[in-house]
Amino acid sequence: MSVLANGNSRAIKNGNPELQSFSRFFEHWLVEQNKYLQNLISVSTKPEKHNLRPLLNGVIRHYEQYYEAKSRCAKQDVLGMLTPSWTSTLEDAFMWIGGWRPTMAFHLLYSKSGLQLEAQLANLIAGLSTCDLADLSPSQLTQLDQLQRRTIREERGITEKMAKHQETVADHSMVELSHMVTECTGGTVDGLDNRVELALASKEEVLEEILHKADDLRLRTLKAILDVFTPIQAVHFLIAAAELHLRVHDWGMNKDATQRPGRGQN
């Protein structure tokens, strides 16, 4: 619980009520993700004894709730959502527009598939079905390849849009405003603060739009990958996704607590 509390104190420090609210939501969301992980692991051992669909639907809904909450908070403070206080510096280093890269889901899939293939090689050679990610059919591999190509194109498009927008911080209006603020130091210019506020607000509107596109692609990619799998394969993929997310979060928080003891303190 200590790493979760650390993440929340960082959000409280910035004094933004929307971010404080999302930080508390995120704490609860992580706890629920861990519960779902334990349930997924439990049913993966004897899938024939369980109806997997309700559990899978619950996990998908859990991810949907995360992005719905994120979207609501982004309308109030998109800058805070792009630089989240509830993640570690390790997570921040690998972040793409406020979250994970959609194409990372495919790397996760193939890494887990490879590990399970190594473990199940004898059974596969014997012609036995493993019912996990080692047992992807040619048709599934084709669908995943096509989906990955589409995702790469969309991700690149959003990346380019973000890059172009970042360049606008040095556009004509911003340079002019920065010069005017310098000139009026010690004096006043009627309406200058309002002009600055409007200029920054317009930048944030586009950032919110880009964040929404990025989050939409993240969620669509997850759902599209799951649609390719059988229910038990989907269970194995969601186990790998939750394990990676929870462990990297914990590792990063623990690293921050050790190397940056003052980080997030009031």
Domain encompassing residue 146: 2-259
Kindly report the pTM of this predicted structure: 0.86
Q: For the chain, how many structural domains are there in total?
A: 1
Could you give the CA distance from residue 154 to residue 23 in angstroms, rounded to a whole number? 29
Q: Is residue 107 part of a domain?
A: yes
Q: Is residue 55 part of a domain?
A: yes
Q: pLDDT by residue (tens digit) across 130-182?
A: 678 988 999 999 999 999 999 999 999 999 999 999 999 999 999 999 998 88
- CA 246 centroid distance within chain: 12
Q: Is residue 83 part of a domain?
A: yes
DSSP for residue 168: G
Could you give the CA distance from residue 243 to residue 209 in angstroms, rounded to a whole number? 30
Q: Is residue 266 part of a domain?
A: no
Tokens of 2: 């200590």
Q: pLDDT by residue (tens digit) across 26-57?
A: 999 999 999 999 999 999 988 777 899 999 99
Q: Is residue 26 part of a domain?
A: yes
Q: pLDDT by residue (tens digit) across 57-75?
A: 999 999 999 999 999 999 9
Q: Is residue 264 part of a domain?
A: no
Q: Is residue 265 part of a domain?
A: no
Instruction: Identify the residue whose tokens are 């779902």.
Output: 36
